[in-house]
Homo-oligomer: A and B are copies of this chain.
Amino acid sequence: MSTPGRGLHGHVLDTLGPAITAGAYPPGSVLRTDELAQRFEVSRSVMREAVRVLESMHLVESRRRVGVTVLPKAAWNVYDPQVIRWRLAGADRPHQLRSLTVLRSAIEPVAAGLAARHATPEQCSQLTERALGMVENSRGHRLEQYLFHDVAFHRIVLTASGNEMFARLGDVVAEVLTGRTHHEVMFADPDPAAVTLHVELAAAIREGDAARAEALTREITAGALQELDILAP
């Protein structure tokens, strides 16, 4: 799913990125390029490229005569998929998962409403297909297959909204759903009520009923939030 370090600078990022986002270096900490290059056993050119990328994510700031300063959390580009992955892999995963779920609950209902207006016939049929897939895998501990269809379903809704900002949140939703299935406790089969809501949502979008699509999605995301509250009150 993610893109593991391509090239040497990528490997450096795979180590430094998670370390910084995990808070291993408190804000204001100063790193030196040469020292980092030695530590990771790469040339300064490679280390400089890595620092530039971290800088573009606003994780660090490089200043002459000072060094590479770690920036406070408030400055980070928290929408960068790479940063999201790093943070989800770290210690504050639960906190991160909650933030993203709240984001979902704001975005997806509006996206569903727009999808009901703009979805193409092809997108509608794909949607019903995925909903069917969810129904078929909702029993008998077929969590992996269920997840697959669930992710695809939400991706289609976001894309069908016609808004590029919404569409790009497909990866975020995928991370949240995947995280919920894999890392949180989910022994039991998915909630039957949720499955029904997805089927109804597909229908609402197909019929162009924007208000109903929005309301149904609010119920779905409300369920996701409630789930979090049960697990980590």
Residues of A whose CB lies within 8 Å of any CB of B are 9, 45, 48-49, 52-53, 55-57, 73-74, 76-82, 99-100, 102-103, 105-107, 109-111, 114, 163-168
Contacts and interface: CB of A to CB of B under 8 A. Distances in A.
A17 B168 CA distance: 19
The interface residues of chain A, by DSSP majority, are classed as: helix
A177 to B, nearest CB: 17
B99 A164 contact: yes
25 contacts: A9-B52, A45-B45, A45-B48, A49-B49, A52-B52, A52-B53, A56-B56, A56-B57, A74-B164, A74-B167, A77-B79, A77-B80, A77-B81, A78-B164, A78-B165, A78-B168, A99-B163, A102-B110, A102-B114, A102-B166, A103-B107, A103-B166, A106-B109, A106-B166, A107-B107
